Amino acid sequence: MKRRHTFWLILVFAIITTLVGCSNNPDAPRLLTEEGIAPYELSESEKYILESFGMRDNSQIISFHAPRDGITLNVNVYRLEGDTNWSNIGGGAVSIGTDREPIEQLIGTFTMQLRENYAIDFIVNAGGIGSYKTGEILLDTEPMASFKGFLEEFQKIEINKEIPIALMVYDSGTSMKAYALEDYFTPSKFEGMDLVQVVTLTFSDREL
C-alpha cells in the first residue's frame, strides 16, 4: 500500500508537469525565472486533478530556482522531541554536482503529500525525478486539534541555510493556536503539543 501511495503521487505530478509543458495557454504556470522558492501556481485543470485524487488539502507544490552556486537540494523532515530538540525522521537530496549534469542550474519543483498516520511522501523534480517518504508515526492519543502551515509567498534562497516550507502540529486538546513557519527556529513555542513536524529545504554549494 505504501508503494501504491508513492506511485499515485508520482503519476499525478507527471500529469501536472505534462500539462504545464504542453499547454498553449498563456496563463499556464511556469517554473521560476527568478532565484528563490515560491508556491507553484496551479491552473484550474491542475487543481481539478489534485481534487480528483483527493490530494488538494494535504499536498503542496513548490517551484525553486537555486542561485548559480547552489548545486544540491537537501530535504529534511523533523519531529520535535521533548520541547526543544528536532529529530531528523527522513529526507533526501538531489544534486547536479560540479559537472552540472543533467541540467546546468538547479531549477525544478518539490511536491509533498501528507499521508495518514503522519507519514509524508515527497518528490523532487530537477532534471529527473527522485521520490522519498517518511515512516508512519503512532501516537498514544488521537489528536483532536491540528494546525498545518505551508509556504505561501516567494522567498529568496540563502545558500546552506534551511528554509522551513511546511509545519504540522497535532494535539489531543480541544484548542490550537496558529503558528508561523519561522517558529521552527524557536521550538520552545510548541511546548505541550503531542506531535510537531517540519519540512525544510536547504540549497547547498557542496556535492552529495
pTM: 0.84
Residue spans per domain, the chain: 2-204
Strands of the chain (E only): list them.
Answer: 36-39, 59-65, 72-81, 85-95, 107-114, 120-125, 129-133, 145-150, 163-171, 195-204
Q: How many CB atoms lie within 10 A of CB 69?
A: 11
Tell me, what's the pLDDT at 82? 86
Helix (H) or strand (E) holding 140, with range, is none
Choose between 170 and 20: higher pLDDT: 170
Give the span between the Cα atoms of 38 and 32, in whole angstroms: 8
Task: Say which range, 36-50, 68-82, 116-130, 178-192, has the weakest mean pLDDT.
Answer: 36-50
Encoded amino acid at 165, one letter? I
Choose between 82 and 90: higher pLDDT: 90
- pLDDT tens for 150-199 read 999 999 999 999 999 999 999 999 889 999 999 999 999 999 999 999 99
